[in-house]
Every structure is written in structure tokens, then in C-alpha cells.
Amino acid sequence: MRSHLTRLVFRHLVYGRPIVHRGCLYTSRITNRLNGPPASIAAQRRTFFGFFNVGRDARSKKQDTAPGLAKMKRLTESQVMDSRPPNIEELAPALREFFKYKVAKETALDDIEASYVRDTMEHLQKHKQSDGKPWLSVDDLLLVRTIFRPLPFEDVSIVHKAVANLMLTEINERLSNGAKGSKVSYEQNMELIPAVIAVLCHTQQALLAKDWLKTTLRSITATPDVLKDTVCVLLAGLLRQDADESVILDTLELAGPDKTPNMKGQMVSYYAKRGMIPEALHWFNQLEKEKRSWGLVWLLDSCTRTKDESLGHQLIRDYLEYFLGSKHIWMAVFRFAAGTGRGTEEVDRMMTIMEKRKPVSANWEVDNAIINNLVEFAMMQKDPYLAERFIALGEKRGVKPDARTFSLQIEYRLSVDDVDGALASYKQIKNLLRSDDDSDANNAAEIAAINHLVQGMCRVERRYSFQQIMDIVDDLSDKPKTSFEPKTVSCLCILHLRREEYHDVVDLLDTHTQKYSLVDRAMIRDAFVGHCLDRRNSIAKVWDAYMIFRQVFSYETNREIRTRIMNEFYARRRPDMAFHVFEHMRTHPSVPSQGIRVDKDTYIEAFKGIARTADAETLEQVHNLLKLDPEVEPDTIINNALMMAYIGAQDSYRALEIWEEIMDSKEGPSYNSILIAFRACESHPIGAEKARAIWERILGFDIEITRDVFNAWLCCLAARGQNKELEEWIKRAGEFNTEIDFQM
């Protein structure tokens, strides 16, 4: 009963509701039946502190958390905090459930999710089942190949590579029967080998995959079909990583004497892209004629890049008649014509010839695919004028621009800062986009172009109203959450920050940042940091921006960035805010190895800032924290900064006490310590006596009296009005091999 009453009382106190004792003799008269806090008359435009707690639950959108991810996240957190991990019997099913979810969704594995997968796989490898068997089955490992497929090659991070290497370790155990009860059949071997090769190649580790395959083939005999398929996958990975020619040829030898058409085609592509025409022709001629179409495309594109018109014309004469019905061949011919100086009129004439000569069975005409291909070629040549002419050519031939055409138009107009022209193209594309899932997949490029348009409008926001930008953003909001690029989110956040719409900033970050990679999140964080360091923004706006990103990007914001923000507040003469930043670093829940909490350099920067702002209250707070900090041991450098801080705070007494502490320490003073001590003597009531004592001790140290030290001694005498003594020491300057700087 008492505990229930206690809970009831505290809940009422927390929620701001009065405690009504209806059974008491003297009850307070309640004039308003609504016992909650009264509604405010006017809404406050901005809240300086604690705006994260106001209305956040109502504005935040529910996040779609993958099944099993929560348990894996708990494991990572337990490793960071050195606490008890989750039950290992729950981790393997959680990992398996997460794999199946990613396969079903066909979404890319971002590096945050990959870090949880890495930690879980490492934990499962270290702690096998009671009978010695591994927790993951062969089918579980094969799922890894599938979840890596949607990942863009350029988005691969070191965490993805770690997951691939863990998969390799698991497979090595099975192939070598190293794990008890993990022996795999021959058929499973044939599945695991190409799977791990594909994962390694997809994570930019094709060279490691090649070495592993050569080693594995010494102990395992693969079927010819599996071997050839595996080599094809490996070749594709090596070509994508631009491997050396010797590595490529060595890999080809693994397939044996008989090379498949796929391998020969990849070799044509490899040499053609590098302009090695003789070698490309060597492999091209080994292909059967009916399988040379894509090789012909690569060779023509190589001739376009190298301006080799003679070879290009020869290839067209030899093969165009055979491939008259191949649309992609004609597209390569048009690119070759445009790249070798033919104008749109010549290309138009070639299109007319093509329509007359192509066989009846080729049921296609000049369409958007051909026109868009030419526009893309013009964009690669960085020629927006040529791109416009190709679009006009399509309209002349009755080909109306589609969404892809307008998206390309947006891109090349933005490339020359023609935001107005890009906005006009967007108005054309707006009615062509659909909201169904299929068109969302097909219109990925169009959505990317709209993202770039929003970014361009935000860069020159003074030319466009806020409502114009938000209208486009609302259109993007109707698409899946992946439609917002990280740079778009950062631009919109800065736009809302300038308008002091902080809840919109928080809502935007809550909705989108959880699915971004660490690199993308760092880019958004850097936009906030740039906003905070921009002196055109008021101190209030800077503080609110800092309060947002330090919570949303708590673990991505390292000590260096936080120190820059702290120094910015010192530079703006706000040591109280700088101290809050310092305190946020000091009390951060991370471990010291993560590089977020304060260290010796942070204290030094804080004391330097206090010296500039002369804030005694902040100095006392930071100094007390230094005394209580078990991770930082004060040394001479810290004490030097502390002396400067006390001098700035007009407390030369305490500064000279610290000088005595330096003198009594094992490390002893540095030259900077001496200079700072003389500076403290300049403002001390009996500074002349203190300075003489310091000078006599220095002379007894048997150290070199540098020019800076001698000048500091003279400055102290001058500041304390010891003119006669000053004159005597000036005359003795030669004894210390020092010339007097009369500009000091």
C-alpha cells in the first residue's frame, strides 16, 4: 500500500498535477476541474534548452526495425560497456532472422547493420555450441551472398569487408573439417566456393578471393562447370577493381585451356576500356561471330574515346550488316558518330538510314532509350548544349521526352548552375512520376535528379521561396524513405535551422538518419558543424544546432569536433556554453578508446579559452573537474595552460601557486612555464620580488637563457616600474648573448 501511494505521489509530481486529498478535513478549493498545467496563450517560437523533450513523441515517425537487429545491437553495446552479453542461444536465431529479412526486403546492408552482424558472427565463432558445432549452418552462410547483392560497390566499407572475412573463416572451418560436426558434403562445397568468391569480390577483396581460390583448389577438386562459373565471378571482381594484367591472366589459367565466351568477353571489355586495342581484338576474334555484339560495342566505345576513326569505320563496315537488328549496336554507332565530330544533323541522317536498313523482325524504332543514351553521352563530354540538341532531335522525330529525359536535363542544367532551367524540367517530370513500387524502382535516377534539384535550390535559397522548396520536398516525401539522399537531408536541416524550425530538424533526422551509413551520417553531422562555425549565425542558433547534432550523432561526433565547437563558443565570448560542451564530453557514456571523452588536450584547450575570456567561474569549475578526473594526470603542459587561465582571470596569486607546484613536480618547468610565470608577476602586487626570486632560481639551473626568457624578465621589471634595475639588466644583455628587442 505504501509503495503504491509513493508511486502515485511521484507520478503526480512528475506530470505537474496537484495531489488532491479528498478525505481530508481541510481540502483546498479546486476552482478548475482541469488539474493539469494551463495552456500557454502564445506559442513560443523557439526553446533555448530542452526542445528535444517537447512534442518529440508526437512528431517522430515509427522506425521499421529489422527483426533480430535489437538483440545484435545489445551484444555490441555490452561489448562497448564491458557488461554481460545477451544469451548466445538467442543470437544465432536473431542473426538468421535478420538475414532472411534482408533477403526478403532486397535492401542494402548498411555499415551500421554490418557492424552488428560482424560483432555477432565474431561472438558466435568464439563460443561454439556445447558439442563443438558452429552456430551457423551452410544455408545461413549462403544467405550472406544474397544480402550483399543490393549493396552498391562504391558504398563498401571496412565493416562490410570484415563480415566477408568472417564468412571466409566460417567456410574454411567447414572445408577443412576444423569444426566438430561441421563436415560438409561435396555438393555443399560446390555451393560455398562461388558464394564466398562472390562476397569477397563484392566487398572489394578480389585479390584475396583469387589467392584463396588458388589455395583451395589444391585440396578440393571442383567440377568444370562450377570452376568456370567461379572464375567468371572472380574475373568480374578483378576487372571492377582495375587489377593488373598479370593478375587477370593468372586468374584465367585457373579455368583451364577452354575459356567460356563470358571470359573472352570480359577480356575484350578489360582491354577496350584501357585503350589496348590489339589485345582487345585478339580476344574479340576468338569469339564466335554471333557472340561478338557486346564486344563490338566496347570496341566502338574505345574508338570513340581514343578518336580512332579508321578502326571504328572498319568495325562498322565489317559487322554492322550482320547486327543490323541489334539496337545496342546502333546506339554505339550513334555515340561513335557524335564522339568523332558528327553533328546532330549527321546523326539524324544515320537514324533515317537505320530505319530503312534494319530487318522487319527488329520491331523497334528511334525511341527514348536511344535519345537518352545520346544525352548521357553528351553529359559525359560535359557538353550541355549538345545534350539540348539531342533532345530537340528526338522531338523532331516524334519522340516525346520521358521522365528519364527530363531527369537528365535536370542534371546537366544543374552542372552549369542553371537552377531555373532545372526547375522548369522538374515541372515537366512531376506529372510523369508515379507512386507505385515498380515505378519507384524504375525512376531511381529521376528521384536522384529531384534530390539534386532540392540541393541546388537550398544553395541559392534567397532566389527561391521556402514554399517552393517545400513543395518539391513534399513530392519526395510521398516516395519511399530511401528517396531522400543524405546531402538533401543536410541541406534541408540547414534550411530549417536558419528558420529556427528546430522540431522540423529533429523530425527530419529521426525519419531518415537511422538508415544511412556512417559515412552518410558523418556528412550530415559535418553540415551541422559548419553551421555552428559560421560566424554569420547568432549564438542562439549555434547553440540549438549543437544541441541537436550532439544527441542525434552522439557517437559519430568525436573529441576533435566537440573541441572545435567548444573553442567556437570561447571565441564568441560565451565561456558558459563552452563549459557545457566540455561537460558533455566529460560525461559521455562512451569508453575512452572511442575518442569522445575529454583528455589532456581538451583540458588545455579549455584553459586557453578561459584565458581569453577571463571567466573565473568557468575556470573554477574546469579546474575542480581536473582534480577529480582519474583519467588525466596534470603535467607541465596542463599546468602552463592553467597558469594562463588564472592570469586571464586576474588571479596572479593562484597562477604563481601553480608555478610552485610545477617547480616541485618531477617533470619540472619548461621554457614556456618560465615565460608564463613572469607574465603572472607583471600583475602581482609584489610581482617584482616574485620575479627576482624566479630569475635567481633560473640562473641557478645552469640552463641556457634564451632571448624570450630574458625579454620576459625585462618586461616584468618594466611592468612593475623597476626602471633602474631594468636599465642595469639591459646593459648586461651581452652576458646572455641576447640582443634587446626594443619593439617588445
**Residue 149 belongs to domain with CATH number:** 1.25.40
Count of domains forming the chain: 2
Which of 236, 256, 276 is the last residue in one of the domains?
256
The number of C-alpha atoms within 13 Å of 468 and in the hemisphere containing its C-beta is 18
Q: Which residue numbers in the chain have pLDDT < 70? A: 1-64, 177-187, 189, 433-443, 479-482, 736-744
Query: Which set of grid coordinates corresponds to residue 392?
Result: 530537340
Burial class (CB in 10 A: 0-12, 13-18, 19+), 78: middle
Closest CA to 519 of 81, 78, 207, 160: 160
Longest dimension (CA), the chain: 112
333 CB neighbour count, 10 Å cutoff: 21
CB within 8 Å of 238: residues ≥ 6 apart? 201, 206, 207, 210, 247, 248, 251
Please check whether residue 181 lies inside any domain of the structure: yes
CA distances from 482 to 98, 131, 156, 202, 495 (A): 19, 44, 18, 22, 20
Round to whole Å and give the CA distance between 264 and 658. Answer: 77
CA distance 688 to 719: 9
Q: Are 188 and 196 contacting, i.e. CB atoms less than 8 angstroms apart?
A: no
Rounded Cα distance, 321 and 325, in Å: 9
* Residue 110, all three cell numbers: 548498411
SS3 of the chain: helix, strand, coil, percent, to 5: 70, 0, 30
State the distance between the two ends of the chain, measured CA to CA, in whole angstroms. 78
Fill in the amino acid letter for 635: D
Is residue 386 in a domain?
no
Q: Indicate whether 234 belongs to any domain.
A: yes
CB 268 within 8 A of CB 240: no
Report which of 307, 229, 217, 303 is spatially closest to residue 266, judged by C-alpha positions.
229
Domain boundary among 222, 256, 290: 256
Residue 718, in any domain of the structure: yes
- Within-domain flag for 464: no
| Residues ≥6 apart with Cβ < 8 Å to 162 | 114, 118
List C-alpha distances in Å: 494 to 459, 463, 531, 553, 569: 10, 16, 7, 15, 19
Give domain status of residue 98, yes or no. Answer: yes
The three three-digit cell numbers of residue 1, written as one number: 500500500
Shortest CA distance to 562 belongs to which of 571, 572, 550?
Answer: 550
CB count, 10 Å around CB of 177?
11
Torsion angle, alpha carbons of 160, 162, 166, 172, to 10: 100
Label residues 104-126 b or e (16+ Cβ within 10 Å = b). Answer: eeebbbbbbbbbbbbbbbbbbbe
Per residue in 25-40, pLDDT (tens digit) is 444 444 444 344 444 4
Distances (CA, A) of 593 to 80, 159, 559, 596, 597: 10, 18, 11, 8, 9
CA–CA separation, 279 and 252 (whole Å): 15
The residue assigned the cell 566540455 is 582
pLDDT in tens, 156-177: 999 999 999 999 998 888 777 6
Q: Has residue 509 been placed in a domain?
A: no
Q: Write the pLDDT tens digit of every residue in 173-182.
A: 877 764 444 5
325-331: Cβ within 8 A, 24+ apart: 325/358, 325/359, 325/361, 325/362, 326/293, 326/362, 327/362, 327/364, 327/369, 327/370, 328/293, 328/294, 328/297, 329/293, 329/296, 329/297, 330/354, 330/358, 330/370, 331/297, 331/369, 331/370, 331/373
pTM across the whole model: 0.80
Crossing angle between the packed helical segments 245-253 and 206-216, to the nearest 10 degrees: 30
Rg (CA), the chain: 36
C-alpha cell at 144: 550472406
CA 305 to each of CA 244, 315, 383, 388: distance values in angstroms, whole numbers, following the listed order: 21, 15, 15, 21
Over the stretch 98-125, which tens digit does the pLDDT of each residue have? 999 999 988 888 888 999 999 999 999 9
Q: Domain end: 256, 291, 307, which one? A: 256
- Pick from 42, 39, 236, 31: which is nearest to 153 by CA? 236
Kindly state the helix (H) or strand (E) to which residue 646 belongs, with its residue range.
helix 636-648
Contact 312, 339 (CB under 8 A): no
Alpha helices, H only, 416-517: 419-430, 437-442, 444-459, 466-477, 486-498, 502-512
- Structural domain of residue 221, as residue ranges? 66-256
CA distance linking residue 599 with residue 605, whole number of Å: 10
